[in-house]
């Protein structure tokens, strides 16, 4: 007989689905599948803090509000717990990748009030993965990106010894030169914000779904650069679909490294020296262009 008064099943029941939990199956890390008495299966996630759960919930709502991208239904957030729909897994295919590119372009075109804007109702102090991420608004992307996306993680990496102070200078020089390197000015885009391949879920329904956002207003090339960073099945089709809806500015592929600097430094803070070396190499290459 299923009975758990203080676990994922109870979280799914508590004012979030209005149903009774009948079973639960642990998944990886903080995730649990919970079966409800109406036959549905939901995913229950326990976050490290209520603010982390709120950031993810409001991010998913904001992405869904664009009306283009597929994200799981959010049933609710209660303290540390977040309850969403379960997306049945399938396999990547070229048609789904093409549709994902078109949908991603539509998401970006939905826009944001400013660079650094949090989703409506979302916290200023949010997260990217397990790392803190502050949503502070700015008017000009190069300056905002340096101040609020690159330099905070560079300082953290220096403070914890992952990057030597003498090494940090190359990234600081790149930040100073960003206004000359970032291409034509763009309006703030509505970003997923943590769009690596692991957050693209290829569904059994033949469509691609996005999960685990670090949503904020940013530069649309950042989402695309993140897809490049860790690889994505049929990325050529994703890009083809994207450009059908929202053609990219000339030279965008030369700027991929600039946009990858942010996630690389986040990974350096979370996972260590290997990513720090990649960030340093990326900054040097960008300065040499």
| Active site (catalytic) residues | 194
Side-chain-side CA neighbours of 230 within 13 Å: the count stands at: 13
Q: Cα(270)–Cα(240) distance, rounded to whole angstroms?
A: 33
State the virtual CA torsion across 89, 91, 97, 100 in degrees, nearest 10: 0
* Partners of 23 in beta bridges: 35
Asked if 209 contacts 234 with a C-beta cutoff of 8 angstroms, the reply is: no
CA atoms of 153 and 270, how far apart (whole Å) = 10
Q: Please, are residues 69 and 32 in contact by the beta-carbon 8 Å criterion?
A: no
């Amino acid at each position: 007989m299923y009975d758990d008064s203080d676990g994922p099943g109870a979280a799914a029941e508590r004012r979030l689905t209005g149903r009774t939990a009948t079973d639960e199956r642990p998944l990886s890390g903080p995730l649990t599948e919970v079966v409800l008495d109406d036959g549905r299966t939901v995913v229950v996630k326990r976050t490290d803090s209520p603010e982390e759960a709120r950031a993810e919930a409001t991010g998913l709502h904001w992405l869904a509000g664009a009306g283009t991208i597929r994200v799981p239904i959010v049933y609710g957030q209660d303290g540390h717990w977040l309850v969403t729909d379960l997306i049945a897994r399938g396999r990547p295919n070229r048609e789904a990748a093409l549709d994902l590119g078109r949908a991603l372009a539509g998401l970006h075109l939905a826009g944001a009030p400013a660079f650094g804007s949090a989703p409506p109702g979302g916290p200023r102090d949010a997260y990217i993965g397990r790392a803190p991420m502050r949503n502070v608004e700015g008017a000009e992307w190069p300056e905002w990106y340096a101040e609020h996306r690159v330099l905070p993680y560079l300082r953290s990496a220096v403070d914890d010894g992952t990057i030597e102070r003498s090494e940090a200078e190359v990234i600081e020089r790149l930040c100073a030169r960003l206004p000359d390197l970032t291409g034509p000015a763009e309006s703030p885009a509505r970003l997923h914000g943590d769009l690596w391949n692991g957050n693209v879920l290829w569904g059994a329904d033949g469509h691609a779904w996005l999960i685990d956002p670090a949503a904020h207003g940013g530069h649309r090339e950042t989402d695309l650069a993140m897809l490049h960073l860790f690889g994505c099945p049929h990325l050529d089709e994703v890009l083809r679909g994207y450009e059908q809806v929202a053609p990219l500015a000339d030279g965008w592929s030369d700027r991929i490294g600039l946009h990858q600097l942010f996630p690389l430094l986040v990974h350096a803070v979370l996972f260590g020296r290997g990513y720090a070396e990649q960030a340093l190499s990326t900054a040097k290459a960008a300065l040499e262009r």
